[in-house]
Structure 1
Amino acid sequence: MDSSGEVINKTPFGFLCNNEKFADIHFIVGAKNLQQRFPAHKAFLSARSPVFETMLFGSLAESKEVKVPDVEPSSFLTVLKFIYSNEAQIDSETVINTLYAANKYHLSVLEDHCIDFLKSVLSGKNAFLLLRQAQLFDKPELEKLCLDMIDKHATDAFTSDYFLEIDLNTLISVLERDTLEIFESKIFEGILSWSKTECVRQELSVTPENQQFVLGSALKLIRFSMMTLKEFINGPFQSKLLAEDEVDKLCKELALKTNICEKPRCCDSFHDEVRLFISRSFSVKRTYFFIGFLLHQIGNDGYDSKYNTKDKIVITLIDEENNIEYLLSQLINSDNFIKYDRPIMLTPDKNYKIKVQIAENVLPDEDYFFIISEGIFYRK
């Protein structure tokens, strides 16, 4: 997460925060080797938090020193500042622990402020981390935002370290979604890494049998039939996670497919792939998912001897309205098809532009049509 801290409004009693003056209670906060001691005032704490009121004035009231081993000292200080001055300095390093502390002491305003901060820094890379927090603290609005983010930025989400930390139930619930904008082979790569990490967590040796065990029913949620035979052979076949009869059945099924590219998960209900000629600047009349480019044969008996299979080609798709660039970069191969690592949604009423570079030289207009043959799309 990446954002500067935010502050909410102050009140006049902030000077008493973490101040020994008039203090009648002390808190020993943090794990043993990282403990800090904070002075406080029972009346202030109890006036702002029913949890502190019960703790300090209830029938089982604490003594003059209270141990709080489950809260980080920095987050406890944030809680104290909020109680005394209505001020809360929240940043990406402390927000999760502060949310835990705000929830623990029933400080709903501070809790809401933490949630708002998390919404502002939500991205594909941290969506699984924040999804776990949303579920832990029962925040359905944040949970929905996280799931939407995972849908739209699934490749980033499935390749993040936080994905490896989720539990099996969360994994299953995400794999059941039809709206993930990701190729099925990428999903399989993700669950393969997750299964290895889960084996280590459960102190099991990393073997195909144990990976099958920790994945359970999650493995059955991979839609292998959406892959091409090439992706299936390079991934699931080599993983040895599938039974031989299932592998044989899928190989025969996939060998009959005519698609040049695997279908993204979000396009499961769409028609077969569409090949369309696209000019340097273009727009679309309906929503498409853009997969990649077919190239004319280059360097063999092809169109232009200036370009050959040893050259590196870079094709940039530019969303001119939002100033977003989607980059493709690889050596020209014998297939003459290059694919994005994720499906890209193209929507009507936007203008798109294509820039082509080969061997670090931007192609002039007259050469564009000798290189780009067609674009590969999926549509409803």
Structure 2
Amino acid sequence: MDASTNVNQSQHTLLPGWQLGKDLSCCMTELYDKKLWTDVKFRCKDHDDDERIHAHKTILAARSPVFQAMFFGAFAECREEVSIKDAKKEIFELLLRYMYSDTVALKKDTASELLQMAHLYQVPSLVEVCANFIATNIRPENACEILTLALSYDITILKEACCTVIDKNARLILKSNGFMDLKEEILLYILKGDTFYADEEEIFYKVEEWSTRKLTQLGLEHVGDNIRKILGDLFYQLRLPAMSCKALVKCTRKKAYLTAEEYINIVDFINDIPETSVLSNSCVSRLPVNDTLIIDIGDAEKIQSHCPSTSIQIHVAKDVELISFGLFDIEPCYKYDHCVQTNSEDNVESSADIGSFFESYRGKVIGLYKSLKRRVVHYKSVPEIDISRSFCPVIHGRLSISRRNFTHNFELDTQTNEIIYLKQPLKLEKSNVYTVEIQLEYSCCKRYTGCNRHLQIRYSESKNVINCKKDPVKVSNVYAYRHSLLESIQFRNLANR
């Protein structure tokens, strides 16, 4: 029985009103699955002689500019069968099913091929679906292969996902089998990343090994001139000025990679000789993707404050993204250690001597107030409690950053070591100074200074300016004698590829 007989049988077995109760996607899928009223057949490279995929020219043309040109363009051929010599039937079937239904069942071993076919037939929505699926399955062992795919088809989401995995696992990438098989443009893209964070000496030797393999394939001698030529722009991304002098000598000694002038310039740069210019290699040190700057405020004691605030300045030498801020331990407390708030009280006056006075209130909670006469507020008896953790409403906070007109409101649940995560990473641009201010207050108080609720925080009496640095971020305090709420700043270094 041939394929056309199967099609005719599918049409004759249709029940009247089969379309009722179905949406457009279901009806289109029914047309495809049951091969109803089709007018074109496709034969893929792995089809058997009696196998074909049946479809509808109009539906395919409505979903793809390529099919539109194929069937209805100026040079369209009137043919009922199309040979697809470069496609597997499984992949082509997935492509057509998506065109009919907008759904696809992806697997690890089909997603990449389907993405390429979707790109070929200009179905961008399917390209995006495949890219999102592949991005969730990137591992150090396949990251180089997927990056090659992403760069070949210029798929931003895949490039970013691959680079995240590659940069965070730089040493594993260098040792992977895929690294030695990379094309020059892919390897250059990886090495351009300032966050491809591995020892520069290790990177040098792996790239050197890559170059000697290329020379072997070309039948060329493994000498310095040939290696530098085969590396081309890659050589600039070997960050020799970021090495120590010892590592530089170890990597380049007797290899003739550098001219005498280039070598002197690099050594001068390493030794911080003023006005040194290095043109042969990048001088930018590699940095981890995510990093944390710990703020050291020096000797500090704990004090109480009703509405604490702090101000710092952030200096950035290159573009970074802020991720979060860490706070020092913040403890809720009362201004008076032995004061308990209650709704029940009695006013009593006493003229008794001091011993008798306290004896009369044994086991009771009282407040003493200075006035013309001795006045006692007798509070309702309460059980023994941890006053620092009780009767504490939510603490509201506000974080603002100048130059970006950025404000972030947050809440604390009175636990220690709080991390304030920004909703989205905030980009800070190089060579700028940003002032960060943080303010805290209880939700019930709204700066009522008579309130007894306070926060216990760290306070430094030192006049010295706080000056903490972790490339490329530096922090300094704005005011002397100010307490600090900030313990750390988490930021993301940008790859700058």
Q: Structure 2 length normalisation: TM-score?
A: 0.44
Is the partner of 2:195 in helix, strand or coil? coil
The answer to whether the aligner puts 1:96 opposite 2:75 as a matched pair is no
Which of 39, 58, 62 pairs up with 1:24?
Answer: 39
Q: Residue 239 of structure 2 contacts residue 284 of structure 2 at CA under 8 Å; is this kept in 1?
A: no
* CA positional deviation for 1:91: 1.7
Look up the equivalent residue of 1:138 and give its one-letter code: D
Which residue number in structure 2 is paired with residue 39 of structure 1? 54
The answer on 1:77 being equivalent to 2:93 is yes
Structure 1: how far apart are the matches of 2:258 and 2:159? Answer: 36
1:276-297 Cα deviation digits (max 9, x unpaired) = xxxxxxx98359xxxxxxxxxx
Q: Is 1:60 aligned with 2:75?
A: yes
Alignment partner, residue 439 of structure 2: none
Q: Equivalent residue of 2:54, what SS?
A: strand
Would you say 1:123 and 2:147 are equivalent positions?
no
Specify every segment of 5 or more residues in structure 2 that has no aligned partner in the other structure, as ranges.
1-23, 273-282, 297-416, 420-468, 472-497
Greater share of helix residues, 1 or 2? Answer: 1
Q: CA offset at residue 95 of structure 1?
A: 1.2
- Taking a change above 3 Å as real, the CA distance of residues 90 and 82 of structure 1, as seen in their structure-2 partners, is same
Residue among 139, 151, 159 paired with 2:167: 151
1:128–1:162 contact (8 Å) kept in structure 2: yes
SS of residue matched to 2:53: strand
Deviation at 1:153, TM superposition (A): 2.2
Q: Are residues 1:180 and 2:200 paired? A: no
Cα 1:35–1:52 change in 2 (3 A) is: farther
Q: 2:29 aligns with which of 2, 14, 19?
A: 14
1:339 alignment counterpart: none
Taking the aligned partners of 2:266 and 2:192, their CA distance within structure 1 comes to 23
Q: Does 1:189 align with 2:185?
A: no
One-letter amino acid of the counterpart of residue 242, structure 1: Y
What is the Cα-based RMSD across aligned positions, in Å?
A: 4.2
Q: Residues of 2 paired with 1:251 and 1:53: CA distance?
A: 59
* RCO higher in structure (CA 8 A, sep ≥6): 2
Percent of aligned pairs sharing the same letter? 24
Cα distance in structure 2, aligned partners of 1:81 and 1:130: 25
Letter in 2 for 1:204: G
The reply on whether 1:199 has 2:215 as its aligned counterpart is yes
What secondary structure sits across from 1:27 in the alignment? strand
Asked if residue 266 in structure 1 is aligned to residue 286 in structure 2, the reply is yes
In the TM superposition, what are the counterparts of 1:101-116 in structure 2 within 5 Å? 101-116=117-132
Cα offset, 1:99, TM superposition = 0.8
Structure 1 residue 248, shift from structure 2 partner? 8.0
Question: What is the number of residues matched between the two proteins?
Answer: 264
SS at match of 1:155: helix
Kindly state the Cα deviation for residue 114 of structure 1 after the two structures are TM-superposed: 0.7
AA partner of residue 145 (structure 1): A
- Deviation per CA, 1:32-64, whole angstroms, max 9, x where unpaired? 999974232223322322321221122322322
Matched, 1:222 2:238: yes
Residues 188 and 236 of structure 1 are in contact (CA less than 8 Å); yes or no, is this contact kept in structure 2?
A: no
Q: In the aligned structure 2, how far is the partner of 1:188 from the partner of 1:34?
A: 54
AA partner of residue 193 (structure 1): E
Greater gyration radius: 2
Classify the secondary structure of the residue corresponding to 1:266.
Answer: coil
Instruction: Provide TM-score, normalisation by structure 1.
Output: 0.56
Structure 1 stretch 227-236 or stretch 155-164: which is displaced more?
227-236
1:161 — aligned with what?
177
**Deviation at residue 149 of structure 1 after TM alignment:** 3.3
Pairwise CA distance, 1:18: 6.5
Unaligned runs of 5+ in 1: 1-8, 258-262, 269-282, 288-347, 351-377
Contact 1:181 1:266 in 2 (8 A): yes
In structure 1, the residue matched to 2:345 is: none
Map 1:252-331 to 2 at 5 A. Answer: 265-267=285-287, 285=294
Residue 252 to residue 49, structure 1, CA distance change in 2 (3 Å): closer
